[in-house]
Structure 1
Amino acid sequence: MENKTAPSGVEYLEDRVARLEDQARFTLDALELAASLGDFQVSISSLHEPTLLLHEVASRAATITPFTVSAVYLVDEGTSDFYLAYSDQQYWKEKIEAATNSFIDSGMFSFALKEGRPVVVHAADLERRVLLHVLETSSRVRGMFVGIFPEGAKNLTAIEMALLSIVCKNCAYAVEVFELYKCFRSGGEDVVAFSDSLPAGVLDIDECGRILFANKIAGKLLGSVATPEKSHFIDFLIPEERDRIASLLISCFAFGVPALEYQTETLAKPQSTMRTQTVLETVEGQKVVSLHITPLQRNGSIVLRGVLAPADEMHTGSELVEGM
């Protein structure tokens, strides 16, 4: 009896060990996959549309479970309405929108928004099961992921559902970062458009004398755009003027720093403005211009904001205007 029952006990233990080993390997694979799902290889700051980002989300979801169609709804920032922003199968677009509208009418869409986890529902029109998962950050709802299962697809495991939640959570934060960059770029474009509308040339110069920005009028006065060979403001001056203007720029940078950092009375008036007249040497020949420079504090460093105009359009002479 003992000899007959012993092998069955050993086989049971060996089978249990094998199952535990398989489960351990699956858990490690799942953890590795979870770590990779949060690493979006998309440079969000360079995107002008979220399509590439949403394609990445659909691809990550497909590594967990195959969907016949994956789609993403986003929230319109102006109206707060949901709109279909991406679908990896365009010919399913109308079917997805019809199914989503039915979920909205039945209240399932609203239910999925509140759940914060995968919600699987049946779409009668599609005769398929559909997964809904809200795209939500700690601040607000950003959209909804919609995945249509193939016919006869098995139910998702708890681990697969947790992994999908990781994908959707990271997607929501990526969309939020994209929207922030979009607002930032929009603001920057407005500033550039405003500076280009000014009747005078405007340029920013860093502490090394490099031209960081020049509007259209400044570019026209300089006669060429900055290049690696000619990127410093001093490079655009005639040789006789370069040392004098370089000294004035250094003085202007000094006036932009709080006076307490210096042990000299000559720098007792920070935030002064330098105004002088100089001569540019451009491809179109020499141009006499008035240069008006103000030091600005920006991100802990000093930038010189310069205004250029033909000499007859601004006050001439070299002077220091304090308290401006």
Structure 2
Amino acid sequence: MDEKKLIRFQQQQIKALQYEKAAAMDALDLARELGTISALSPQQSSLEKLLQDICDRAQRMIPFQSCAVYLVDNDTQDFVRASSCPETASAKLEEEIDLLIADQSFAYALQSDGPVFFLGSAGDSHILLHALLTPFRVRGMFAGIMQQSKEEILDTTLKLFSVFMLAAVNALENYENHEIMRNHSLELKRMVQQRTQDLVDAYDRLDITLNAMQAGVMVVEAENYRIVDVNPKALEMMGREWEEVIGTECFDVICTACKGSCPIVDNGLQESNEEHVIERKDGTHIPIQKTVSRVMIDGKLHMVENFIDIREQKKLADLKEHVDRIMRHDLKVPLNGIIGLPDLLLNDDEVNLTESQREVLEYIKISGYKLLNMINLSLDLYKMETGSYEYNPAVADVYSIVRSVVKDLSELVRYKKLVIREQFEGKDVGGDFSFDIRCDEFLTYSLLSNIMKNAVEASPEDEDIIFDVRVIDGNVAIQIHNKGAIPESIRDTFFEKYVTAEKSDGTGLGTYSAKLIAETMGGNISFESSSEKGTSIMINLPGMDD
């Protein structure tokens, strides 16, 4: 292989790794969102919305001409299309599914725990089927007509798509459990609030309902916080007998609050929906999702506590972290090999390289190191979110950092005919100007890279982008201005996670990570935007003396 082919091969390898890393991180985030307990919250408005979310997020992992979720009808055991995207293209997909059912291909796909591909009836596209399975039953099937050939999809993407489908089926299970709990809770409220002369029959009906529920239910008298009733499922989860629980205070059994700080009785909430941990009698712990509601029984205020075991959801979260660690390791091993190869060529006296070839090899090496740092940064961002990141600032030239960012964006800058103007205290400075700040150099690079990339993409052509640094009250104030305006629809949520607009390839993580990094470095970030003046992003960081 000659030198030029080798260089092109290295560039292709880096691009492939960058694409694979981005696809992996996107897929893991999608799996995490659907695999958490969020699907149990009252904010999840409907099953239709959850199914639409599954289709939309699947589209972000693998492009489909059309896709749909088929659910098993509990009465007929038939597969019924519950959601499709887009709705206008559902007829073609429905025809393909009917053919797959007729030739037993659909039944074959139900036996697999991964994606299965079939050639469409016209022979010009592939159909992907992925069964939605739990350990106990078949929930349904995801189906989609692909935009690309199956050979173009990375094996890693297919594996992560299966992780995502596992998250999706768990989200469906969570939603169904929540609906069961909510419906039972409403029924319980109606029953206990209906004062009738036949109070004994009312209590009998209540006992039947409580005993039949697959969620733990506990009734607590608000006046003295004592447990007055509990169903068998709750006793099973706590590992206790009925006599051990009745008459004890809820704080000793299930509640994490203390007397005087009960969310329902003392803080006046009508309902509480939170995650807790039960300590069983044998000392083991079970994570639960608990909902507490206020009800009146015999003229007295009571609290009805409904809770379910969420150990499976926790296992799914652990699976996500495990896959995350594997991905980081699997990306680093080949990347380290790619990073080392340019050095072999540069240091080999027998290889006669031109100056331009040396520059290309240096750029490949630098890009490889940047990608390696980005992989490490994904773990650092997780630590920042959880508050476990240890920030160790040093001294670095902020103008040198931003010039490195601009170099990475040079192709897009040239294409849009933009001019990057460097300023200090509002006045233009030359390309050799420097100004040291107290920061973490790589975090600052990532922060400025996210903001500068947005500015370059949003700016109209043939305009200036201004990078200005000022010292205000001893602090460092960085301002990045472009003539584009932030869409009004996302201005209120601009720095929130997964917020993006008018960008087909946007993840909505750039401004979120920029805010996270700025706050980790002891600063803050804000913006001003209008169609008349454009957009200014303001980053305030501590000064050298802080």
Matches within 5 A, 1:278-289: none
**CA distance, structure 1, for counterparts of residue 295 and residue 59 of structure 2:** 52
Identity %: 24
Whether 1:134 and 2:131 are equivalent positions in the alignment is yes
Whether 1:23 and 2:20 are equivalent positions in the alignment is no
Superposed CA deviations along residues 208-243 of structure 1, whole A, max 9, x for unmatched, are 78xxxxxxxxxxxxxxxxxxxxxxxxxxxxxxxxxx
CA gap 1:194/1:78 in 2 versus in 1, 3 angstroms: farther
- 1:164 aligned residue (161, 165, 173): 161
CA gap 1:38/1:190 in 2 versus in 1, 3 angstroms: same
Contact persistence 2:39–2:175 (CA under 8 A): no
What SS does the corresponding residue of 1:39 show, helix, strand or coil? Answer: helix
Contact persistence 1:75–1:81 (CA under 8 A): yes
Deviation at 1:68, TM superposition (A): 1.3
Name stretches of at least 5 consecutive residues in structure 1 with no aligned partner.
1-7, 210-254, 262-298, 310-324
Contact persistence 1:58–1:88 (CA under 8 A): yes
What SS does the corresponding residue of 2:196 show, helix, strand or coil? Answer: coil
Deviation at 1:80, TM superposition (A): 2.9
Contact persistence 1:74–1:84 (CA under 8 A): yes
Q: Which residue of 2 aligns with 1:206?
A: 222
Paired AA for residue 60 in structure 1: R
**CA distance, structure 2, for counterparts of residue 178 and residue 71 of structure 1:** 18
**CA distance, structure 1, for counterparts of residue 295 and residue 192 of structure 2:** 15
- 1:257 aligned residue (248, 251, 255): 248
**CA distance, structure 2, for counterparts of residue 143 and residue 44 of structure 1:** 20
Q: Which residue of 2 aligns with 1:89?
A: 86
Matches within 5 A, 1:1-324: 9-40=2-33, 43-46=39-42, 47=44, 49-124=46-121, 128-150=125-147, 155-199=152-196, 205-207=221-223, 256-257=247-248, 306-308=297-299
Of 160-169 and 14-23, more deviation after overlay is shown by: 14-23
Deviation at 1:126, TM superposition (A): 9.0
CA gap 1:11/1:146 in 2 versus in 1, 3 angstroms: same
Count of aligned pairs between the two proteins: 216
Paired AA for residue 56 in structure 2: S
What SS does the corresponding residue of 2:187 show, helix, strand or coil? Answer: helix
Contact persistence 1:67–1:150 (CA under 8 A): yes
Superposed CA deviations along residues 161-195 of structure 1, whole A, max 9, x for unmatched, are 22322221211111111111122122222222322
Paired AA for residue 123 in structure 1: G
Superposed CA deviations along residues 21-64 of structure 1, whole A, max 9, x for unmatched, are 33332332233123212132664432463111111111211112
CA gap 1:116/1:9 in 2 versus in 1, 3 angstroms: same
Deviation at 1:79, TM superposition (A): 3.5
Q: TM-score, normalised by structure 2?
A: 0.35
Aligned CA RMSD, in angstroms, stands at 3.7
**CA distance, structure 2, for counterparts of residue 69 and residue 54 of structure 1:** 14
Paired AA for residue 59 in structure 1: D
Paired AA for residue 222 in structure 2: D
Deviation at 1:205, TM superposition (A): 4.6
**CA distance, structure 1, for counterparts of residue 247 and residue 150 of structure 2:** 68
Paired AA for residue 85 in structure 2: D
Deviation at 1:109, TM superposition (A): 0.5
What SS does the corresponding residue of 1:80 show, helix, strand or coil? Answer: coil
**CA distance, structure 2, for counterparts of residue 96 and residue 24 of structure 1:** 33
CA gap 1:132/1:59 in 2 versus in 1, 3 angstroms: same
What SS does the corresponding residue of 2:298 show, helix, strand or coil? Answer: strand
Paired AA for residue 109 in structure 1: F
Deviation at 1:152, TM superposition (A): 7.4
What SS does the corresponding residue of 1:63 show, helix, strand or coil? Answer: helix
**CA distance, structure 2, for counterparts of residue 79 and residue 37 of structure 1:** 32
Superposed CA deviations along residues 244-267 of structure 1, whole A, max 9, x for unmatched, are xxxxxxxxxxx9339xx9xxxxxx
**CA distance, structure 2, for counterparts of residue 157 and residue 49 of structure 1:** 33
**CA distance, structure 2, for counterparts of residue 12 and residue 66 of structure 1:** 31
Superposed CA deviations along residues 53-98 of structure 1, whole A, max 9, x for unmatched, are 1111112111122211111011223443211110122233343333
Q: Which has the higher contact order (CA 8 A, sep 6+)?
A: 1
Q: TM-score, normalised by structure 1?
A: 0.56
CA gap 1:204/1:104 in 2 versus in 1, 3 angstroms: same
**CA distance, structure 2, for counterparts of residue 40 and residue 186 of structure 1:** 25
CA gap 1:23/1:63 in 2 versus in 1, 3 angstroms: same
Paired AA for residue 206 in structure 1: A
Q: Which residue of 2 aligns with 1:5?
A: none
Contact persistence 2:128–2:146 (CA under 8 A): yes
Name stretches of at least 5 consecutive residues in structure 2 with no aligned partner.
203-218, 226-245, 253-289, 301-546
Q: Which residue of 2 aligns with 1:272?
A: none
